[in-house]
């Protein structure tokens, strides 16, 4: 009842404006929170939903220099209102992306992969695994590609532990970490189709996939025989899941909270602070963009890294269900169901 599909006139094109034909836009948890009024960004009503998506430039104003018709664009910031077929936006609200990207990758690029990349790079300096001198010696006569050499590492390198590993951010973390030579320990909720989910995350490059219950079991020791204890933990759940994950963090390690799906506080034993000096931090992509609004080099560098990973086949879109815009009600309902490991994408 909060939502209606409406036909509106496309506004007149100003000198600094860009007329965009939207192609596809996902439904993310933050979009739902904004609709419910529980998110720090509140758009004046009536508002167009959606913070993410990809569109094609149809026409540009006389003062627009960086974009031309035919270019693909994504939002430069939250609050654009992407659940629409057409829009006229100021040029600075858009970022150009290569047309060579698969449409679902481009549509889901500006939130989850950016969040994953920032959290993997901004809080801890994580080192990839390194080959031993003996391995280097044995490679001398082998026609092994450099990519293979990175995989045959004896020094285990650093690792990351994360919960909600099947989320959009979780899937991006697995792939970006794998491309960087960092190992991942991925925590998911137990569910009916657990074996299929484990298989899917392993195929993306996960090193370990475990349930929240397993975090408390002695078998965790087996994981740490081959994978070092994590220096970085990524939390978007809260509650018990977070407390258990924290137990496995290295001394002086960092836990970054970027969501609270369990709607429960983050509980930390006093001993973790005193005897292991763990650091607790928070991350919000919207704030990062605000802080870097004048630093276009950082933004361009981030987008370039992600686009290169996509074009090299090392970063794919999350599992998606494509829904025509007129079926938006079904898509909104599906996006709020538990255990749905597929992102709803509105085709516009």
What is the distance between the alpha carbons of residues 220 and 294, in angstroms, rounded to a whole number?
44
With CA atoms as reference, report the closest residue to 240 among 336, 165, 163, 166: 163
The catalytic site residues sit at: 39
With CA atoms as reference, report the closest residue to 245 among 270, 220, 265: 220
With CA atoms as reference, report the closest residue to 170 among 241, 229, 102: 241
Both tokens of residue 231?
A: 């220096």
What is the distance between the alpha carbons of residues 132 and 129, in angstroms, rounded to a whole number?
10
Give the distance from CA 240 to its chain's centroid: 23
With CA atoms as reference, report the closest residue to 267 among 236, 246, 248: 246
């Amino acid at each position: 009842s909060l939502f209606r599909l409406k036909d509106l006139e496309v506004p007149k094109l100003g000198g600094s404006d860009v007329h965009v034909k939207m192609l596809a836009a996902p439904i993310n948890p933050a979009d739902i929170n904004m609709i419910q009024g529980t998110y720090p960004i509140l758009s004046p009503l009536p508002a167009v939903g959606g913070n993410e998506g990809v569109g094609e430039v149809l026409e540009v104003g006389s003062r627009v220099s960086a974009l031309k018709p035919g270019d693909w664009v994504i939002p430069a910031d939250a609050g654009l209102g992407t659940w629409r077929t057409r829009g006229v936006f100021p040029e600075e609200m858009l970022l150009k992306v290569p047309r060579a990207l698969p449409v679902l990758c481009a549509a889901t690029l500006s939130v989850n992969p950016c969040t994953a990349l920032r959290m993997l790079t901004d809080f801890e300096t994580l080192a990839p695994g390194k080959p031993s001198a003996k391995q280097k010696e044995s490679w001398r006569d082998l026609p092994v590609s450099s990519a293979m050499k990175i995989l045959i590492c004896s020094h285990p390198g650093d690792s990351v532990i994360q919960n909600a590993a099947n989320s959009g951010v979780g899937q991006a973390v697995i792939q970006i970490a794998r491309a960087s030579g960092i190992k991942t320990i991925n925590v998911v909720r137990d569910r009916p189709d657990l074996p299929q989910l484990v298989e899917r995350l392993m195929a993306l490059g996960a090193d370990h996939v475990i349930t929240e219950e397993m975090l408390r079991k002695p078998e965790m020791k087996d994981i740490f025989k081959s994978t070092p204890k994590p220096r970085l933990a990524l939390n978007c759940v809260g509650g018990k899941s977070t407390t258990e994950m924290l137990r496995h963090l290295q001394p002086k390690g960092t836990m970054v909270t970027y969501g609270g799906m369990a709607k429960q506080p983050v509980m930390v034993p006093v001993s973790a602070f005193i005897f292991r000096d763990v650091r607790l931090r928070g991350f919000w992509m919207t704030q990062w963009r605000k802080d870097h609004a004048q630093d276009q080099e950082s933004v361009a560098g981030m987008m370039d890294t992600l686009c290169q990973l996509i074009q090299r086949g090392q970063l794919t879109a999350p599992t998606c269900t494509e829904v025509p815009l007129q079926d938006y009600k079904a898509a909104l309902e599906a996006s709020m169901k538990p255990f749905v490991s597929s992102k709803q994408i509105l085709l516009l």
